[in-house]
Amino acid sequence: MQPRLLLFDIDGTLLRVQSGFTRSLIEDVLQTHQLDSRHLDEISFAGRTDRFIFTEIIHKAVGSVDERRFTLLKEAYIQSMNQKLRPEHVEVLPGAHEVLSFCKERKIVTGILSGNFRESAHTKLSRAGLEQYFPFGAYGSLHTNRDHLPALALKAAETACKRSFSPKNSWIIGDTPYDITCAHSAGMRAVGLPTGPYSYEKLLAHKPDLLLPSLNHLIQYLDGPIG
């Protein structure tokens, strides 16, 4: 049997950060850097990469984007997240610990594919007690478009595990249409979960290979070969 690789989204899939926490954090960062935060409500965060979100924020605030300003805001946001996020701000979603423990026991390789910046991703995972399950990943600091992340995740997995993985035996698990489309764009399988802002029906319209009520239901599909 070929190696199996499971790539997990974070927000809305493995965990949920307290409502309004992230948006409030970004507002504080923008205020500190004297940037207008009124346009935040015009930007959808779900499924987007942090590079896309922060690029949009800067563009709406000042009309143009430069790498220096982006880097300043990114570093301020990462530092603020690390300082202010507490375990009580994070809810681990049903099935997360069980699925990841099962994968560890069965030697099914698990990684992250997330729109979060790498540092903020691991802050969230650490507060949730999940960081130990993820030795590699592809993150939203790498590209504005999520569809570019699966290939980067595959390379990261091969580097970390020192073996090759086939896209057709690699699954991306997430709660938004962006997770589904990025999986299919890379020739990978998509597992949709209506545990975030998108309903079962809205995810179904994007034709995931599996659509499950929660992570609790994933284990039965990991007992045998995936494919």
pLDDT at 1 over 50: no
> What are the pLDDT digits (tens) for 118-176?
999 999 999 999 999 999 999 988 878 889 999 999 999 999 999 999 999 999 999 99
> What are the pLDDT digits (tens) for 91-116?
999 999 999 999 999 999 999 999 99
Could you state, in order of their start, the residue ranges of all structural domains in the chain?
5-17+90-222, 21-84
**5-17+90-222 topology per CATH:** Rossmann fold (3.40.50)
The structure's pTM equals 0.92
Position 227 confidence tier, pLDDT thresholds 50, 70, 90:
very low
Tell me the angle at which helices 21-32 and 50-62 cross, rounded to the nearest 10 degrees. Answer: 40
**CB contact at 8 A, 154 and 168:** no
pLDDT at 3 over 70: no
**For all residues of the chain together, what is the average pLDDT?**
91
In whole angstroms, how far apart are CA 27 and each of 14, 24, 36, 74, 75?
25, 5, 9, 13, 14
**CB contact at 8 A, 175 and 199:** no
Q: 1.25.40, 1.10.260, 1.10.150, 2.40.10: which CATH number matches 21-84? A: 1.10.150
